[in-house]
Amino acid sequence: DVSKVRMYLGPAVMYTLNLAVLIFLVVGVMLFIDVQLTLFALLPLPFMSIAIYRVSKRINRQSEAVQSRQSGLSTFVQQHIAGIRILQSFHREDDAAERFTHQADDYKQHVLKLVKTEALFMPIIVLLVGLSTILTIYVGGRRVIAGELELGHIFQFVFYVNLLTWPFASVGWVTSLVQKAEASMLRINAFMEAEPTIASPPVSTSVGDSGLNQDSSSAASSVREFAFRNVSFTYPETGIEALQNINFEVKPGEIVAITGRTGSGKSAAAQLAMRIFDPSSGEVELNGTALHAWQLDAFRHITGYVPQEVFLFSDTIENNIAFGMDLSEASKESIEEAAVEAHVAHNIEGFEAGYSTMLGERGVNLSGGQKQRISIARALIRKPQLLVLDDCLSAVDTETEDFILKSIRRACKESAVILVSHRVSCIRGADRVVVLDKGRMAEYGSPEELLKANGLYANMVQQQAWGEEPPVTP
């Protein structure tokens, strides 16, 4: 879209001005010499503009189709190269090759159609310019014989016709550019003028001097309580109700775990805590004030978040860990300390380039557990006042998990921690546990209390201790 608008602002405007100036000067001279010969000489040129417009429009349409097929072909190759191990494991090489051949043939057919259409471009110009030249020589010759013109006027008119050829041809091309630029500009404006659904409130209505709309240093000392108050959330795209009337609170130095079966709304709760979404009803509160009343930038400055789906940049390990920090704040020592707390330092130091190791796309050259631990280090280095961990230990063994949880407890003595996990081994050290079932709060209390209650949490502990099947009693 940007390229199409640029083509309008550049070539389209330039050729339009060029055409206007040439028509004014050249046609004026031609009319001054002979009006009748001018009309015959210029007669085919408007038809050339119309023909070029139609051909250009067809070329644009076919070019978009070619680009779409090329994009699909590139995506197909990229996905299959990235997933080559899965492809080989399921022995689908022949099937993939057949589908690639089919897509490549489809792409080739569209390219050939485009080439055939483009082949019409120059012949149309040559045909109509030739017709204009023939008319000029024929009509001019008759008028020379009649003594109404001189022979040199014919050569002069042929020169002028050739001078006007490309400007007239560009009329159709420019018209097509203008139409495409207009459509592209509408899409660009829609993007540029889009308002984020999650935004900071106006400063005049945000929290006062003690709030997070002030500098981050005052914000860091102001987190006293973080709470969910009758929170419900429905995904707007699907209408699925993820959470219903959730209530809990967490204070600095505490770890509140959220657990439940798959699809119970655990990740939705983590995203609400980070204000990635706003609740459909109820309030997520910080220090007794609804989260949407705080300045968003300052709030996220004091948070650390480890999402369920880890994302690492194609950069060094060092820069990935320090991603959430200003360059002036992220020292080598703080990066190494965060890596130790996340129990990934020994893995990093085992690489030849150490912390300077370049990662592939999304950290493809790391194991799942290593990616998760680097993501944890990225959150811990910020020394967050609110730490939200969304099922970020699913790819590590229980021993590593225990080490990381102890590190988090140590490093976050003054931080409020929300720990989301479906593994009871991960949440056994939490101060309190929220047990979700189909988006509802089924149980709430300490792990010991919930275990004694013999409810859903106790059932999950039993199932995970003995596998999916409970032990058979004699």
Reported as a single tens digit per residue, the pLDDT across 138-162 is: 888 888 888 888 888 888 888 888 8
> Is the whole-model pTM more than 0.75?
no
Confidence of residue 471 (pLDDT cuts 50, 70, 90): very low
Cβ partners under 8 Å of residue 217, min gap 6: none
Residues 81-88: what's their mean pLDDT?
82
Do 2-192 and 216-466 fold alike per CATH? no
> d(Cα 224, Cα 29) in Å, to the nearest integer?
85
**Can you say whether the dihedral through the CA atoms of 371, 373, 374, 376 is positive or negative?**
positive
- On the 0-12 / 13-18 / 19+ scale of CB atoms within 10 A, 466 is exposed
309 pLDDT more than 60: yes
Q: Among 20-29, 215-224, 241-250, 315-324, which stretch is predicted with the lowest mean pLDDT?
A: 215-224
pLDDT at 388: 92
Q: How far is CA 269 from CA 224, 242, 253, 257, in A?
A: 20, 9, 20, 11
φ and ψ of 173, to 5 deg? -65, -45
Q: Which of 135, 14, 131, 118 is nearest to 66 (CA)?
A: 118
Q: Which amino acid is at 34?
A: D
- What is the average pLDDT value for the chain, to the nearest integer? 83
Reported as a single tens digit per residue, the pLDDT across 394-424 is: 878 888 888 888 888 888 888 899 999 988 8
CB 164 within 8 A of CB 136: no
Superfamily of domain 216-466: P-loop containing nucleotide triphosphate hydrolases (3.40.50.300)
352 pLDDT more than 80: yes
> d(Cα 388, Cα 129) in Å, to the nearest integer?
72
Which of the pair, 208 or 189, is modelled with greater confidence? 189
The one-character DSSP state at 95 is H
**pLDDT above 90 coverage of the chain, percent:** 19
CATH number given to 2-192: 1.20.1560.10
Which of the pair, 203 or 137, is modelled with greater confidence? 137
204 pLDDT more than 70: no
6 pLDDT more than 60: yes
pLDDT at 467: 57
Reported as a single tens digit per residue, the pLDDT across 177-199 is: 776 677 678 778 888 887 888 88
Residues 258-285: what's their mean pLDDT?
90
pLDDT at 131: 86
Q: Which of 300, 107, 126 is nearest to 213 (CA)?
A: 300
Domain ranges across the chain: 2-192, 216-466
pLDDT at 108: 92
| Partner residues linked to 43 by β-bridges | none
Instruction: Report the run of H or E that residue 441 belongs to, with start and end.
Output: strand 440-445
Which of the pair, 306 or 23, is modelled with greater confidence? 306
Q: Which amino acid is at 261?
A: R
